[in-house]
Structure 1
Amino acid sequence: MVSSGYVVCIGRSIRDDYYRIDTLPVLGGKVNASYLEWRPGGGMANTASVVAALGSRCYMLGGMGQDDYTQPLIQSVAKYGVCTDYLDIYPGRPNVVHQILLYGEERIILLQKMPYRLMVRDTPAKRALLQGASFVYSDMLSYKFLPNDHQLLTQLAAGGTRIFVDAEPTSATDKSDDDFYLQLASVISFNQGAVDYYFGDRGQQGVLDLIGDSDKIALLTRGKDGVLVCTRNGCTAVPGYPVRAVDTTGAGDTFSGAFMHALLQQQDPVQAAQFACAASAVCVSSVGGRSGAVSRRQVTELMDRYKNIV
């Protein structure tokens, strides 16, 4: 159990353009869309903001483009207390822009594919930062922004840093390479799409086989239905909170950040998942991937409000 320390998130702050659509798109069809606004996003930036807003120390490593949105995007993370001193700025490169289509209580995210990678520049200060972290968090694609990431992550794990992997299928590249991250990780978050992608018909049993006799924690997120917390002792269901969802963007990012914060506060995995489910409920109650970046008090107030239901 982690009792103190800090988190390093590998990634970048991204611009999300929000639209509301009247109907779901079909192949060859058209839909009416109303532009709403742009908001700061990016999974790793969302998670970092949650960790810091809840009161734990958090740092970001990653490459940012240089355009009119660079400073607002960096400030959007820094205002929650995330240290952004280690971000790399690449002149002449634009920042990433995703489109988020809101439909009822759900959304469709159009991810912009970039023809280049904005790598993390290797410096002694960044290596020291990573070596001192309690958790390093990212998805498989963003971990590749680290120089010689396999070697570096292996060294970090051997030194006691816990590697947390968001096993989002859209960040997967090659299953043999993905397996490196799954085997090395101390904590892995899978949504249902990831369970299907990596384990197929084996489903939950495939997750338990991955854990084996190790200390690995696997989190099987189930949206409004909560999460399964899986360890070598089996899986425990933690229910979600029955709030009205306005925008589910960032719910998984919020869960991961709140889960790490709770472990840093000496909670066990099931307790941490209960807290993280509540934080996710706060997140989906408002528009924007950063809406889960709230104080610990706001999360515990929601937990108290629903304590006779959940």
Structure 2
Amino acid sequence: MTASRRWDLLALGDPCADLVVAVDALPAVGGKVLARALGDFSGGTTANAACAFSRLGGQAAVFGRVGDDAWGASLRDSLREDGVDVSQLLTSPGQASGRVIALIPPGGDRALVVIPMAPGTPRDEALAEAACQARVLYAMPYDLEELRRVRRIADRAGSRIAIDLEAAVVPDAGAMAQRLMLADIAFFNREGFVAATGGEPTPEALTTLLDFGPSTVVVSLGSEGAIAADRQGTARQAAFRVPAVDTTGAGDTFNAAFLISHLEGQPLAASLRFACAAAGLAVGAVGARTGMPDRQATLALMASTNA
């Protein structure tokens, strides 16, 4: 799949350590709930996508930071175990690694509390060198100015940009438009799409977003599957019926699977089906990466169902 570049995917962002706990219900404002620890896991949105991408057969690397604490070493090792290149992962002296507290109620549809690393000095020169070795740069663009820098770097390197737009990233139409203009491929979950557009994801609504500049817009719909649009048309895919234990990491797996299929030149509908199958398998175990499938398992699920 690699077209004369070292990596197919360069994931931008800091890996995080996930503390996962089970709760009977999510706490109300001012409330308190008892929890049961389910374990500590390696995570981080873009790092998760890199791991999923690698398990599915692609070449992936992470460009980001970890702290010089015990979690930093563990996060680095976990990426290596999944075949992800960590040569672009910097250890920041005197800093703690990012943490996430994942609250898992019955049914597995989690809520997250994110504790990121402190902001660091931009590494534009290093990113420019890395971008020349990657086909796609993948980011969750909270920082608009940072995304603008990444766009300039990607243009000089001849790389494409894929972005993940959750509601916390694009809470309104203005924030969405500013980011779509800088992206080649845009991923939303349903909550992010509704927050950004004020409406439900429909083929017509996705097609309208192409006018901002991206060549492809994809929306994951959880248990309802996914929908996507590109310059050739639209596609919809039903979800694969797999019992959900923990949805943490399912969206990251979905995005990674879509990207690897897309980079292999598969049509929109085929990429969407592959992504839904991979995401369906990812929800079957506790932890963002525990249930992430390889290509063989994903293809087997696709062959076993008419979804």
- Would you call these one fold, judging by a TM-score over 0.5? yes
Gaps of 5+ in 2: none
Identical residues among aligned pairs (%) = 26
Report the Cα offset of residue 202 of structure 1. 7.5
Contact (CA 8 Å) 2:173, 2:197: kept in 1 or not?
no
2-11 or 79-88: bigger deviation: 2-11
| Aligned mate of 1:121, from 120, 123, 132 | 123
CA deviations 1:210-243 (Å, max 9, x no partner) are: 2039661111110021100112444321111011
Contact (CA 8 Å) 1:166, 1:189: kept in 2 or not?
yes
Aligned-partner Cα distance in 2 for 1:41–1:202:
29
In structure 2, what is the equivalent of residue 42 of structure 1?
44
- The 5-angstrom pairing of residues 250-289 of structure 1 reads 250-289=249-288
| Aligned mate of 2:69, from 51, 67, 70 | 67
Report the Cα offset of residue 302 of structure 1. 1.1
TM score, norm. by length of structure 1? 0.89
Report the Cα offset of residue 115 of structure 1. 7.4
158-167 or 111-120: bigger deviation: 111-120
Aligned-partner Cα distance in 1 for 2:114–2:213:
37
In structure 2, what is the equivalent of residue 139 of structure 1?
140
Helix, strand or coil: the match of 1:111? strand
Gaps of 5+ in 1: none
Aligned-partner Cα distance in 2 for 1:191–1:209:
17
Report the Cα offset of residue 287 of structure 1. 1.2
| Aligned mate of 1:24, from 17, 26, 35 | 26
TM score, norm. by length of structure 2? 0.89
Aligned-partner Cα distance in 2 for 1:157–1:109:
36
- Amino acid aligned to 2:299: T
Task: Return the structure number with greater relative CO, CA threshold 8 A, min gap 6.
Answer: 1
Helix, strand or coil: the match of 2:37? strand
Aligned-partner Cα distance in 2 for 1:177–1:159:
26
Aligned-partner Cα distance in 2 for 1:199–1:40:
32
CA deviations 1:129-177 (Å, max 9, x no partner) are: 2123211101112776x5xx41441341465422101011223488656
Helix, strand or coil: the match of 2:181? helix
CA deviations 1:82-101 (Å, max 9, x no partner) are: 10011111111111111111
Number of equivalenced pairs: 303
CA deviations 1:260-279 (Å, max 9, x no partner) are: 11122221222111111110
Aligned-partner Cα distance in 1 for 2:99–2:244:
24
Contact (CA 8 Å) 1:246, 1:287: kept in 2 or not?
yes
- The 5-angstrom pairing of residues 200-211 of structure 1 reads 200-201=198-199, 204=202, 205-211=204-210
Q: Aligned-residue CA RMSD in angstroms? A: 2.4
Helix, strand or coil: the match of 1:105? coil
Q: Note if 1:236 corresponds to 2:235.
A: yes
Helix, strand or coil: the match of 1:78? helix
Helix, strand or coil: the match of 1:123? helix
- The 5-angstrom pairing of residues 1-310 of structure 1 reads 4=3, 5=5, 6-114=8-116, 116-124=118-126, 126-141=127-142, 149-157=147-155, 160-172=158-170, 176=174, 178-201=176-199, 204=202, 205-212=204-211, 216-306=215-305, 309-310=306-307
